[in-house]
Amino acid sequence: MNASKLISRSKSSFAICLLLMGMVAVLTTRLPRAEASKPPAATTGTNAARLYVLDTEDGRSNSRVLVVDTSEGTVQKTYKAGYYPDMALAPDGARLYIASSIWTPNKQSARASEPEGRLKGFLEIYDTASSAMVARVDNPDAIGRTLPVYPTSMTMSPSGNWLYVLRNVNWLDSSHPNSAAHLYLAAFDVQRRQFLPDRVPVPECGAILLPTSRDLTVDLKCADTDDVMEITFGGSRYPNSVTIPLGVNVKKWGAAFLESDERAMGLIASDGSAFLFDRLGHTVQPLGTTIKSGALRPMERALVSAGRDVAYFGANGSRNPGWEDRFDQVVMADATTLAPKASLWTTMPFFSMALSADGERLYAVNPERSAITVIDTEKLQEVRRLRVGETPIFAIAAP
């Protein structure tokens, strides 16, 4: 082989090597861009997908609040609690309030007739960013429970300045066995971290609390009374409560909520009748019939979408609904007229519901099956089912 051919082949081989090296270099420089085009890991577990779930652990002392990433179905954080837990979340999501009762031994007990101890109620406040407990205060007269599944007795004011808590006098205090038990409403000052001395007696009627945007003002609606109670704290030496008769002769109520401007309260009876209560003029306007709610005591607080144009509540078409399975339908209604827009028969019954901050997802909670059904509100159809804890009873979506 002559020298000219060797030189030609060498040049060809060198050119091919350069070409291959260039292709590798191009592929190498493009690889990071392909990875970056994927959704960043931070989008998983954002507030929009986070759900605070209260798990009573079937009534045991090791109850907890689980922070669930609904997009992945995983538990991100766990907050421990005691007996009869309850919870509320600040409107901005910065603080989590957990109420529960802890067994406190009586160290001074010397005789068999003296109690060995008692359950003492506490309210614990957590910083949700760090999960650290920032305060723990006494919560006397905490409501005791006879079942592991129950509705919440706490709610935040829209401003986030006040936490309203239903209490039951002497239910847990064995030192006053002869005192008559009764419910009352207390107000907790979030800034000062203390309860007001005011007590507002309320009937034991399976009520729901409807806080208004005006601090220290709460409406209360009973499940089986034909009236509305308006409560105001701090206006005088004693809190003021006014009971306003509705005069519509409804024996069982299913759901209620405040309209966006809070001038009116939407009311849905268990027979499907809908009413609008004018909170200023104290008049009632019948609105026709929605789908029957069939709700059991206690009644539910209907969930209103972020745009304030749609309300969601549970209904039950079963003739023999159980306590934990009290709903098997999700009803979507116009938030102003209460006219039904659509309904969904869920594949699994549920005890309570939560609505995401953007109004795009509903979360139907089933304690008996330790499950939460995720529902797309635009299509009103189930999209996912999550297994959460042991006895989840209700949830709050992060803002």
- The Cα angle at residue 393 between residues 166 and 340, in degrees rounded to 5: 90
Mean pLDDT of the chain: 84
Radius of gyration of the chain from its Cα atoms, rounded to whole angstroms: 28
Q: Is the peptide bond before 298 cis (omega within 30 degrees of 0)?
A: yes
Structure tokens at 167: 């209490």
Q: Are 51 and 354 in contact (CB under 8 A)?
A: yes
Going from N- to C-terminal start, the domains of the chain cover 46-397
Q: What is the dihedral of CA 376, 309, 336, 398, to 10 degrees?
A: 70
**Pairwise CA distance, residues 269 & 320, whole Å:** 18
Q: How far is CA 19 from CA 15, 22, 197, in A?
A: 6, 5, 83
Tens of pLDDT, residue by residue over 317-347, are 876 668 888 899 999 999 999 999 999 999 9
- Assess whether pLDDT exceeds 60 at residue 180: no
Burial code (b: 16+ CB inside 10 Å, e: under 16) for 65-85 equals bbbbbbeeeeeebebebbbbb
Least confident of 25-39, 141-155, 253-267, 278-292: 25-39
Q: Are 389 and 378 in contact (CB under 8 A)?
A: no
Assign domain 46-397 to its CATH superfamily: YVTN repeat-like/Quinoprotein amine dehydrogenase (2.130.10.10)
**CA atoms within a 13 Å half-sphere pointing along the CA-CB vector of 85:** 29
The reported pLDDT for the residue numbered 235 is 58
Tens of pLDDT, residue by residue over 58-112, are 999 999 999 999 999 999 999 999 999 999 999 999 999 999 999 888 766 555 5
Q: Kindly report whether the global pTM for this prediction surpasses the value 0.75.
A: yes
Tens of pLDDT, residue by residue over 355-371, are 999 999 999 999 999 99
**Pairwise CA distance, residues 298 & 323, whole Å:** 10
User: Which residues are CB-contacts of 118 (< 8 A; sequence separation ≥ 6)?
Assistant: 103, 104, 106, 172, 173, 174, 175
Q: Is 222 exposed, middle or buried (0-12, 13-18, 19+ CB in 10 A)?
A: buried
Q: Are 67 and 45 in contact (CB under 8 A)?
A: no
Q: Are 255 and 275 in contact (CB under 8 A)?
A: no
Q: Are 189 and 162 in contact (CB under 8 A)?
A: yes
3 state SS of 395: strand
Q: Are 237 and 246 in contact (CB under 8 A)?
A: no
The reported pLDDT for the residue numbered 60 is 92
Report the share of the chain in percent with pLDDT over 70: 80
Q: How confident is the model at residue 296 (pLDDT cuts 50, 70, 90)?
A: low
Structure tokens at 107: 């160290």
Q: Are 355 and 305 in contact (CB under 8 A)?
A: yes
